[in-house]
Chains A and B, each alone.
Chain A
């Protein structure tokens, strides 16, 4: 299962070796997170050749920025996935020629230093399946806006234009969808 690769065990030691510029550690990082990062990028750009380029760019960025990562407290998998998504969304924005006025900058949310103290077993299979189940509970409109936001990087204004809906309506769908996902996760995994 793809989720099995997301076990956080061993990431601390792996991060330390990456910071020492150990090439074998990069191989292990790729073997652990390469397929899920690639799958995410394919979903976003829908082209396996481009996805390979962007996956390589993802690991290059992670490799180059490891010094800023907190090996003791950091969440390596979450960081890799975030960088992967951002690379793919940046690509979509560049080919679409979307203006930066509407495309909110993502780089600040992928700084390695912010990926600290995330839940230890964040991406274990149960949690991931719970979110998937919660995602399926969203109504069609809510699911669509989350997909447009997460997998296409559209702003709410852009979504409103594409869906030919009032901006306020789209904002309501986005907020309701996110609240529903959070509530479902909190009910499934009490704090």
Chain B
């Protein structure tokens, strides 16, 4: 029996579709197949409406304050000396790149810097093995924090062609790489990219980069590089 394609996309957005159908859908989406995109939109609509089914629960007023604090710069505080050099770099790198967000001026830069410093100040943040043996250039330092995310500090990155971007990935021990945000390096090839949010480090084998089309890809379309193992 021919599978109902709408159904396959509904299963996909619900997280229920397994290989090989899942890979076929992602391949069709990578090709920007109009029919695939239309089916994805339809499935996303149903999925979003399902999210309206639970009965309303009133959140506390404190939650609103916590959410609004996201847009406020972090207060200054002291940081461990061994992370100070990265903080200094964060302040000096003119082409600061942060979470794939295109900068909207100085204020955005400052907020990105504050978020980066807050990440580095956390006692749970740790530095992974730097770069790879086979690729002396470019180089990167990767900081990970299971509850806060992944910070990449890179240099000597190759300039990007028009319409291309770098994408960071977490490579799990099993399954395909998971996207961790887009960024573009400064003119000198340097970049600082913070992907905020919890990340399951127990499940992660490595952090990697790839070059992707503008807007990013759900899975790498070019060979990943700067593969940094995640270990204790």
Residues of chain A whose beta carbon lies under 8 Å from any beta carbon of chain B: 2-3, 6, 19-21, 23, 26-27, 30-31, 34-36, 38-40, 42-43, 48, 51-52, 55-57, 59-61, 63-68, 75, 77-78, 81-82, 84-85, 89-91, 94, 99-101, 103-109, 111, 113-119, 122-123, 127-128, 131-132, 135, 146, 149-151, 153, 155-156, 174-175, 178-179, 181-182, 185
Cross-interface CB contact of B101 among A57, A67, A185, cutoff 8 Å: A67
Question: Which residues of B lie under 8 Å from residue A107 when comparing CB positions?
Answer: 178-179
The answer to whether B182 touches A155 (Cβ under 8 A) is no
Question: Which residues of B lie under 8 Å from residue A57 when comparing CB positions?
Answer: 197-198
Question: Which residues of B lie under 8 Å from residue A181 when comparing CB positions?
Answer: 46
Residue with the highest number of chain B CB atoms closer than 10 Å, among A68, A116, A119: A68
Interface of A is mostly: helix
In the complex, which residue of chain B has the Cβ closest to the Cβ of A159? B16
The answer to whether A128 touches B67 (Cβ under 8 A) is no
Does residue B18 face the partner (Cβ distance < 8 Å to A)? Answer: yes
In the complex, which residue of chain B has the Cβ closest to the Cβ of A42? B57
User: How far is it, in angstroms, between the C-alpha of A103 and the C-alpha of B178 when the chains are bound?
Assistant: 13
Which of B68-76, B80-88, B154-162 is the contact stretch?
B68-76
Question: Which residues of A lie under 8 Å from residue B16 when comparing CB positions?
Answer: 104, 149, 155-156, 174
User: How far is it, in angstroms, between the C-alpha of A134 and the C-alpha of B175 when the chains are bound?
Assistant: 35
User: How far is it, in angstroms, between the C-alpha of A85 and the C-alpha of B101 when the chains are bound?
Assistant: 23
The answer to whether B70 touches A26 (Cβ under 8 A) is yes
A46 to chain B, nearest CB (A): 11
Question: Which residues of A lie under 8 Å from residue B4 when comparing CB positions?
Answer: 175, 179
Which of B126-134, B135-143, B212-220, B222-230 is the contact stretch?
B212-220
Does residue B7 face the partner (Cβ distance < 8 Å to A)? Answer: yes
The answer to whether A68 touches B48 (Cβ under 8 A) is no
User: How far is it, in angstroms, between the C-alpha of A27 and the C-alpha of B123 when the chains are bound?
Assistant: 30
